[in-house]
Amino acid sequence: MPHPFAPSEAEVDPRQFQSFAAFYPFYLSEHSNRNCRRLHFVGSSLALLCLAWAAISGQPGWIGLGLLLGYAFAWAGHFGFEKNKPASFKRPLYSFMGDWKMYADIWRGRVSL
């Protein structure tokens, strides 16, 4: 049985995209599992709360906790439900931008939870 995260012949290399507009549809395809999207949403929401609390309290350690929570929830979604490797390993900036665009699209009703 092949390893669940082993590259396949059909696997798309996220480094091939020359623009975020071209990358985003691929990003969404890597988040087709509803539970994965839900975990991303929870992690992003917690990250924002930690960022806000860091600003309010003047304690910058909350920023680190926010990053940790955001990535922990997202990666749990990928490894536990989506069964793929996060694009952040090969395209970190576009992946980070995709996280926040998907988060906004969820709030706007363009991406379902």
In a domain, 67, yes or no: yes
pTM for the full model?
Answer: 0.86
In a domain, 71, yes or no: yes
In a domain, 104, yes or no: yes
In a domain, 53, yes or no: yes
H-only helix segments in the chain: 20-29, 34-57, 61-77, 92-108
In a domain, 88, yes or no: yes
Count of the separate structural domains present in the chain: 1
Q: How far apart are CA 59 and CA 95, in angstroms?
A: 27
Residue 74 CB neighbour total at 10 angstroms: 25
User: What type of residue is 103?
Assistant: Y
pLDDT in tens, the chain (113 residues): 443 443 443 578 888 999 999 999 999 999 999 999 999 999 999 999 999 999 999 999 999 999 999 999 999 999 999 999 888 888 999 999 999 999 999 999 999 99
Q: Say how many Å lie between the first and final Cα of the chain, rounded.
A: 32
Q: Quote the domain boundaries for residue 92.
A: 34-108
Contacts of 9 (CB under 8 A, 6+ apart): none
Encode 30-46: b = buried (16+ Cβ within 10 Å), e = exposed: bbebeebbebbbbbbeb
In a domain, 72, yes or no: yes
